[in-house]
Amino acid sequence: MTVAETAEQHGLHRVGARPTLGRYLKQTWERRTFIYELAKARVQSQNQRNRLGMLWVVIKPTLNALMYGFIFGVLQGGNKPADFPIFVVIGVFLFEFFTSSMNGGAKSITGNASFVQSLAFPRLALPVAQVTQGALTLMPMVAVMFIYAMILGTTPKWTWFMIIPILLLFTVFNMGVALVCARITVHIRDFTNILQIISRMLFYTSGVLFGADRLLSQWPWMLAVFDWHPIYQTLELARGYIMNDHLLQPRGWMVVSIWAVVSIVVGLIYFWKAEERYGRVD
């Protein structure tokens, strides 16, 4: 009889062994209070280091919207979308949530090496806490985004409440992306440097600053690609309900929902498969 068989016979289990996926998710859910408190503490700590505190949460994307909006507004000329200022504000504010989830998730394991090596808990809690931190930061940003919309001439309407399910799906999608990036970074530490390039590339190619239907009208194949672009379709849904009273956007909802489900399923399985590897992070 092997040592493993003897241990199993006496109810002993290997320390750090990967549980089944169902049990893994249950263990993570049992630590939901810890995840929320960790995310909240990080938001507070991050703001305390700045003289303007929580204001920087809004100031940074606002300055980005002003700068990039002016530059791309001039470059696009007559091809820029209608109500371009609020178009850019929505794009920049929501994309900020995506980048914080992706980049923060990538560092969630490697950036907490001592924590990971010292305590026994499902490592899934760390990237989930990171995305939760981004969601907590997003809340005041969304409130300010609506204020900007009214200042820029958009009339408040009941369709604004559709931002809630949109952000829920976007959060699920971001969670899956964060999980994939978290595992990749454990194996390839330089991936965080590559992510900076990926983030910038996505910022310029996800419709944050332009309307694909106007700018790419001469390239039907590119429009077909954007029809399945998860970030672009999320931004289009948000803009449609905030700016234009769009009651139904079935294709947008379908695309965003599919990407959210695929992202979280792939991310969870991919991250869970390497659970034993995280305890040996160095």
Q: Provide the pLDDT for residue 14.
A: 52
Q: What is the mean pLDDT of residues 169-186?
A: 96
pLDDT reading at 78 higher than 80? no
Residue 6 pLDDT level (bands cut at 50, 70, 90): low
Q: What is the mean pLDDT of residues 83-87?
A: 86
Region of poorest pLDDT, from 32-46, 64-78, 232-246? 64-78
Residue 69 pLDDT level (bands cut at 50, 70, 90): confident
Q: Provide the pLDDT for residue 184.
A: 94
User: 155 and 86 in contact (C-beta within 8 Å)?
Assistant: no
Region of poorest pLDDT, from 1-10, 115-124, 243-252? 1-10
Which one is predicted more confidently, 251 or 267?
267
Which one is predicted more confidently, 80 or 135?
135
pLDDT reading at 282 higher than 70? no
Q: Provide the pLDDT for residue 52.
A: 57
Q: Provide the pLDDT for residue 173.
A: 97
Which one is predicted more confidently, 17 or 97?
97
Region of poorest pLDDT, from 11-25, 208-222, 226-240? 11-25
pTM of the model: 0.87
Residue 7 pLDDT level (bands cut at 50, 70, 90): very low
